[in-house]
Amino acid sequence: MNKTFSKLSTLVLGTALATSFATAGSGELEKIMKKRGLSENDIIRAAKTYLPTGGRDEFVVFSSGGQSGQMMVYSVPSMKILKYIAVFTPEPWQGYGFDEDSLKVLRQGNIRGREINWGDTHHPALSEVDGKYDGKWLVINDKANPRIGVIDLEDFETKQIVVNPVFKSAHGGAFFTQNSDYIIEACQYAAPFDNNYHPIEEYKETYRGGVTMWKFDNKEGRIHPEKSFTLELPPYMQDLSDAGKGASDGWGFTNSFNTEMYTGGIEVGMPPFEAGCSRFDTDFLHVYNWEKLAKLAKDDKNVKVVNGMRIIPMSVAVANNALFLIPEPKSPHGVDVSPDGEYIVVCGKLDTHASVYKWSKIKALIDAKAYAGKDPYGIPILDMKKSLHGQVELGLGPLHNQFSNVKGEMYTSLYVDSQIVKWNYLELKVLDKENVHYNVGHLCGMEGKSADPQGKYIISLNKLAIDRFQNVGPLHPQNHQLIDISGKTMDLLYDMPIPLGEPHQAVAIRASKLHPHVRYKMGTNTKTGKPHIGKTLAGQERIERDGNKVAVYATMVRSHINPERITVNKGDIVTMYITNLERAEDETHGFTVDNFDIHASLEPGETTELKFTADIEGVFPYYCTEFCSALHLEMMGYLMVKDPNKKYTSAQKLKMKSMSPEELKAEYDKTVAVNAATDEVIQSVVKFLKDNGYEKHPVIVDLVTDALDQYGQIKEQKAKSDEAVKAGDLEKAILFENMIWQYMVKTADVGIRAKDALVRLVATKQSTSAQRGEKAFGEGGCSGCHVIGKVSSGPDLTGVLQRHENAEKWVNNFIMNPEKMYKDPYVAGMINYFNLKMPNQHMTQEEITDIIEYFKWVEENANLF
C-alpha cells in the first residue's frame, strides 16, 4: 500500500519534471520518450545512472568473475565495466601468464606440481583498518582449487597466489579481520587433510573440515603461509565465514550445512547428498577465538604439521576455550556480522527466517561455561534460544546480507522469491521488498559489510537473466541490477549483463579511497615492485649470447622497438627483457613474436621478461600490439631463426634502377621543406599552449613534457642527416630527415591532444541553450558553409555579434529571412565575395535563439579557435 503510493508520487513528480524538461528543450525530450517508449520513471532512472562523458562515478565495485578465475571492476551508479583483473587464469591483454614475471605469479598456484589454469572465484574482500576499507589490497578465493589471490590496488595487478596445502576446496573465504591481520578461509567440502586415500566409510574419522587463518601483512600486501595456521573442524561442510569486529573482534564465525555428516551414494542405492544433508532441523554455527588460537599456534606443542601447514587439533582448541558451536536453522548460507560487531545474522536457505544472534549473549554463555551439550567431537554447544536476539520471517530462500548506513537496517537476498528484502534486525521487522530478475545470490552494498556502510545503493547479483537481454545463445549472461536505496522504498535503476562468469560476491568502495598510479618507476618489475633485472635504458639495448642462450635487452618507445633485427640459431633459448621507456599516461605498448605464444603488456616504465625456445626455423615478425601512436604499425622488427646445420644459398640480387643525383636532391629538398612546414604547425600549437597557461594544469604538463621528449630527439637526427649530406650520401640523409618527420608527427600527435584537453579545461561552460545552439548549427546546415575560427565557403562567424549594430536582432532576422536582406550593402558585399547567397534554413525562432547563445559562447572563447 505504502509502496504503491510512493511509486505513484514518483510518477507524478516524474511527469512534472519531464514536462519542465520538455518545455525547456523545445519538446525534444518528449519526442525521444515517445519514440523509444520511455516512461517518466525511466527518464529519472536514466538521469540517476547517466555519467556524462569524462565523468567519474562515486563507487568502484570489485566483483568475482566466477568460473573465469578473474575479477571484474565496474563503477556505480553508471555500471560501466572498467577492467577485468587476471588472477587465476591466463589473460592475454594484460600478458598475464604470457610473460615470465606474471607466469611466476600464476605458477605460485600450482597444486602438487600440477599447473592449474583456471579458478572458481567467489568472495572478494578489501583490506581493512578498524573494520573500514583502506583501499590498499584486494583478495579473492578460488573454491575449486583452494587458493587465495592477492591484488595490489596501486596497479590492479595480482601479486601473490597461495595454495592451501590441507584443503581440497575453499569456499568460505576470503574475509579480512578488522585490522587485516588475518584472512579467514573455510574449506566447505570436507576431505582428508593429507594427500592419501581414505575410504568414504571412514568419513567421520578421517575427513575433516577447517578454517585457515592466513597471516597477512597489510604494509607489504602479502600473505605469510609460514605464520598462518588451520583450525581443525568436524566434517560438517563449513560454508561461509565472517570475522568479528568491534565488540566481537578477535572472534570468527563460520556456518555449516551437513552436520548430518551424510556422504551420499546414489550409485549404491542411497538417497542423494541433498536429501541426507538436510535431515536435521539445525546445523552448526562455529564460533572460535582466532586471536587466542593464533597465540596457541606459535607453540609447536599445540600444533601438528600436515603438508607444511600448522594445524590446531579440535581437542586443543576446546581445551583452551577457543571453539564453540551454536545450532542454526538448517542449511544456512550467509553469516554476516553487523557494523558494530554486536549482531551475527545467519540466513537459512531452506528456512524462511533470518536468525539474529547477539554477541553479548553468546559471550556471556561462553564466560559462564553454560553449555547445552557437546557434539560427537567434544565441542561445547551453546543453547540456540539463549544466543538469539530473535528471528524474522523474510521470505523464501534467504541467502546473503548487507548493511546500510541507517542503524538496524539491512538488506537480504531471497533466492527463491527473487527479491531483495529490506528489514530491521534490531526491531526484527520487514520494511520493504523489491523484485529482481532473477534468482539473486549475493547482494552488494556500498561498503555494506564494513564498519562504515554508505547506504545509497544495493546491487543484486542475479544468477539468471532469462528474458532480460538480447539472446546470445543458450549460455546466458548473469544480471547485476542496481537498486536505489536512498528513499523509503527501493527502486530498481539499471540492468547490467555480466559477460564473464558467475560472479558470486562483489565488494564496493568509495572511489575517493583508491589512489592507483599511472606509471611505474623506470625499469620496474611490476610483480615484485622492485627494479627488474632486465631493466634497459635508452642506449643500453644489446643482444648477448652465451652458448645457446640469447639474451635480448630491448626498449620500446613511440614508435620503434630497439633492436629491430634479432638473428638466432634454431634451438636457441631466447630471453627478451623489454622496457617501455614512456613516461606519458596510457602510453602502453604490447609485444609479441608471431607464432611463439608469448605476449606482454608494457605499461609506462615497466620492464618484462619474455622467454621462448626458437625451435622452428623461419622469419617471424615481432610487433607492438597496442595502437600507440600514428606510427604504431611501423613499430616492428624481425626475429630470424636459422638452422646452423643447413647451407643457405643467397638469392640473386635484383637489379633495381637507382635514382639520379638530381632526383635524390629533389627528394631531399622536398623532405626538408615538409619538415619545416610541420615544424610551423608544432610551433603554433606550442604558442597556443603557452598563451593559455598550460603550466597550471598537471595533466597537460604531462602531455607537453612527453611531446617535448619526442621533439628533443630531433636534434640528434638532424646532426646525422647533415653528416650524411656532407659525406655525399643523400639517400641516408633522406632517411634521417624522414625520422625527423616521424618525431614531429609524434610531437604533433601528443601536442594536439594537449591542446584539445586544454581547450576543454579553459573554455567557459556552455549553457544548455548554447549546447542546443551548437547542435542546431551543425544539423541545420550552417556548418556546411561556416567554420568557426576560419573563413571557408562562408565568412568566419567568430565576432559576428560585434560586426553589426543591434547585432542579435540583425543575426536573428538574417537567419529567419535571409532573402529580405540580400540588398543590405554588407550582405550584398559578402554575396559578391563568396559568390554564394545565404539560404533560408527554415529554423524555428527557438533554434535561432539557441544559435545566438552559441555565438555568444564562441565569442567568449574566441581566443581558443
Q: Does residue 599 belong to the site contacting ligand CUA (CB under 6 A)?
A: no
Minimal CB distance residue for ligand K7E: 441
Give the nearest distance from C-beta 605 to ligand CUA in angstroms: 14
Closer to ligand CUA by Cβ: residue 460 or 625: 625
Choose the contact partner of 635 out of ligand CUA, ligand K7E, none; CB within 5 to 8 A by kind. ligand CUA
Binding to ligand CUA (CB under 6 A) within 151-180 occurs at: none
The span of 291-299, 628-636, 652-660, 849-857 binding ligand CUA (CB under 6 A) equals 628-636
The contact pattern for ligand CUA, residues 658-697, with x = CB under 6 A and - = no contact, is: ----------------------------------------
- The x, y and z cell numbers of residue 761, run together, are 579545461
Candidate list 589, 746, 755, 856; residue touching ligand CUA; CB under 6 A? 589
- Work out whether 560 is an interface residue with ligand CUA (CB under 6 A): no
Q: Which is nearer to ligand K7E, 358 or 504 (CB)?
A: 504
421 vs 602, beta carbon nearer ligand CUA = 602
Q: Which of 48, 632, 718, 732 binds ligand CUA (CB under 6 A)?
A: 632
Pick the closest to residue 503 from 400, 394, 396 (CA basis): 400
Please tell me the chain's helix, strand, coil percentages from 3-state DSSP, rounded to the nearest 5.
Answer: 30, 30, 40
The CB-of-624 to ligand CUA minimum distance in angstroms stands at 3
In one letter, which amino acid is 522?
M
Nearer to ligand CUA, 288 or 622 (CB): 622
Report residue 264: phi and psi, to 5°: 65, -155
399 binds, among ligand CUA, ligand K7E, none (CB under 5 to 8 A by kind): ligand K7E
Contacts 24+ apart (CB under 8 A), 410-418: 410/338, 410/345, 411/443, 411/445, 411/448, 411/458, 411/485, 412/345, 412/347, 412/354, 412/443, 413/440, 413/441, 413/442, 413/443, 413/460, 413/461, 414/440, 415/349, 415/439, 415/440, 415/441, 418/462
Closest to 245 in 3D by CA, of 24, 39, 105, 453: 453
718 binds, among ligand CUA, ligand K7E, none (CB under 5 to 8 A by kind): none
| CB closer to ligand K7E out of 171 and 558 | 171
* Residue of 201, 196, 228 whose CA lies nearest to 212: 228
Nearer Cβ to ligand CUA, position 190 or 624? Answer: 624
From 459, 635, 734, 852, residue interacting with ligand CUA (rule: CB under 6 A): 635
3-state secondary structure 839-856: CCCCCCHHHHHHHHHHHH
List all residues 6 or more positions away from 118 whose beta carbon is below 8 Å from its beta carbon: 67, 68, 69, 88, 89, 144
Which residues fall within 8 angstroms of residue 477, CB to CB, at 6 or more apart? 465, 469, 497, 498, 499
Q: How many residues bind ligand CUA (CB under 6 A)?
A: 7
Burial environment of residue 480 by CB neighbours within 10 A (0 to 12, 13 to 18, 19 or more): buried
Q: Give me the least distance between CB of 555 and ligand CUA, in Å please.
A: 11
E strand intervals along 143-192? 147-152, 157-163, 172-176, 182-186
Residue carrying the nine cell digits 528456512: 351
**SS (HEC) of 711-724:** HHCHHHHHHHHHHH
208 vs 449, beta carbon nearer ligand K7E = 449
Q: How far apart are CA 505 and CA 461, in angstroms?
A: 7
Report the nearest approach of ligand K7E to the CB of residue 754 (Å). 47
How remote is the C-alpha of 525 from its chain's centroid? 21
**Least distance from ligand K7E to the Cβ atom of residue 279, Å:** 22
CB neighbourhood size of 8 (10 A) = 10
Rank residues 277 and 628 by Cβ distance to ligand CUA and give the closer one.
628
Is 745 a binding residue for ligand CUA by CB under 6 A? The answer is no
310 or 589: CB nearest ligand CUA: 589
Q: Applying CB under 6 A, which residues contact ligand K7E?
A: 122-123, 171, 240, 333, 399-400, 441-442, 504-505
Give the interface segment with ligand CUA, choosing from 8-16, 604-612, 626-634, 757-765 (CB under 6 A).
626-634
Which of 355/710 has CB closer to ligand CUA? 710
Residues that bind ligand CUA in the complex, under the rule CB under 6 A: 589, 624, 626-628, 632, 635
